A and B are shown apart, each in its own frame.
Chain A
């Protein structure tokens, strides 16, 4: 009897484990994501006195690979190895989530956005990014080139000029009540609103 009881218990634990995997495989709600991202701030501070900020890694990579005798890239980037390892972790984590915790259903996209994009020939809503705009083939279309190459350049140039990105300013900086971070965050949002609503519709027409 006792053995049967324990077998039943084990099966029960097995099913709860499966249920758990199934539960975390569905898309996570904003409050779960927000909580985990917010807790990164104290975690990094407590485990090693590190302030959260991802865009600096672009600078560290420049300093490590192409310093070209530029003062801005002459510093001991090796001291920031922890941050590069953090990014390696992000890449691994994204790989794990995509391959082992993936959700088979399509991502839900606002139907209004779907219609607006469909008008410009963007009809692939299966992935996190539209293949019609972000792929090696799309790179050879004018709009794909602008979004990937010019967009990427603005991300790299703008974050360094602003001395931080969404993580360094909008999350770490605001958490530490830094008003320059609030200014930067407001500017990020203004730039984004202007691009999405007033410029992007024209870029999308450049097929």
Chain B
């Protein structure tokens, strides 16, 4: 099992969101949509997808977003620590693998560029999709532009400093 996992993660470290060696069929993939649905509801109900909330965050006019991200990180870190300590397995009885994020200069340059865009659109990629669900049709333009941005990065990747 472990060697299979390694083969997958070694193929491209920058993808590696799927560390499961087992192939899942259509029906078992629905569970990810269910988690997504809860996530989408939270995004709207806690107004995380609001442009105003992001402006308030960057102007230090509200604690809300800091509270959301802070609580999420603390709980996430606690969960990951518990998973590692007790070697908790997946429901499919696989060992849980979390791929490390390698450092590149892209973390800095890309991070700064994304930060600029985040404050402009008032949304990171997750909220952009949620805004579509909330019925704000014009955000499809923002997503199309984000896709073009990702594509452009792919096109120029080798020429950019990393």
Which residues on A are within 8 Å of B, measured CB to CB? 24, 27-51, 53-59, 61-62, 66, 68, 70-73, 75, 79-83, 85-98, 101, 103, 107, 109-110, 112-113, 125, 127-130, 133-136, 138-139, 146-167, 169-181, 183-197, 199-200, 203
Is there an interface contact between B45 and A24, defined as CB atoms closer than 8 Å?
yes
Q: How far is the CB of A189 from chain B (nearest CB, A)?
A: 6
Which residues on B are within 8 Å of A, measured CB to CB? 11-12, 14-20, 24, 28-52, 54-59, 61-77, 79-80, 82-83, 88, 90-92, 94, 96-104, 106-126, 128-139, 141-155, 157, 160
Is there an interface contact between A155 and B125, defined as CB atoms closer than 8 Å?
yes
Is there an interface contact between B39 and A90, defined as CB atoms closer than 8 Å?
yes
Is there an interface contact between A181 and B101, defined as CB atoms closer than 8 Å?
yes
Tell me which residues across on chain A come within 8 A of B37, comparing CB atoms: 89-90, 92-93, 96
Is there an interface contact between A158 and B147, defined as CB atoms closer than 8 Å?
no
Q: Can you give 8 contacting A-B residue pairs, CB < 8 Å?
A: A31-B71, A42-B79, A51-B98, A153-B117, A156-B145, A175-B76, A184-B107, A195-B58
Q: How far is the CB of B18 from chain A (nearest CB, A)?
A: 5
Tell me which residues across on chain B come within 8 A of A44, comparing CB atoms: 32, 35
Q: How far is the CB of B73 from chain A (nearest CB, A)?
A: 5
Contact A56 B17, CB 8 Å, known A139-B141, A157-B149, A183-B111: yes
Contact A149 B71, CB 8 Å, known A82-B18, A98-B134: no
Main secondary structure of the interface of A (DSSP, over half): helix
Which 10 pairs across A and B sit closest by C-beta, in order of nearness?
A191-B115, A89-B36, A93-B40, A34-B71, A161-B110, A156-B149, A187-B111, A158-B114, A154-B117, A38-B75
Complex: A122 Cα to B149 Cα, angstroms: 28
Instruction: Give the residue name and chain of the A residue nearest to B161 (CB).
Output: A161
Is there an interface contact between A157 and B141, defined as CB atoms closer than 8 Å?
no
Candidates A30, A109, A156, A197; contact of B146 at CB < 8 Å:
A156
Q: How far is the CB of A125 from chain B (nearest CB, A)?
A: 7
Using a Cβ cutoff of 8 Å, how many contacts connect chains A and B?
522
Instruction: Give the residue name and chain of the A residue nearest to B57 (CB).
Output: A192
Instruction: Give the residue name and chain of the B residue nearest to A196 (CB).
Output: B58
Q: How far is the CB of A150 from chain B (nearest CB, A)?
A: 7
Tell me which residues across on chain A come within 8 A of B36, comparing CB atoms: 85-93
Is there an interface contact between B35 and A80, defined as CB atoms closer than 8 Å?
no
Is there an interface contact between A35 and B108, defined as CB atoms closer than 8 Å?
no
Contact A191 B118, CB 8 Å, known A90-B40, A93-B44: yes
Complex: A159 Cα to B129 Cα, angstroms: 15
Tell me which residues across on chain A come within 8 A of B92, comparing CB atoms: 48-49
Is there an interface contact between B80 and A176, defined as CB atoms closer than 8 Å?
yes
Q: How far is the CB of A40 from chain B (nearest CB, A)?
A: 6
Is there an interface contact between A161 and B125, defined as CB atoms closer than 8 Å?
no
Is there an interface contact between B137 and A112, defined as CB atoms closer than 8 Å?
no
Contact A128 B136, CB 8 Å, known A155-B118, A170-B69: yes
Complex: A53 Cα to B14 Cα, angstroms: 11
Is there an interface contact between B90 and A194, defined as CB atoms closer than 8 Å?
no
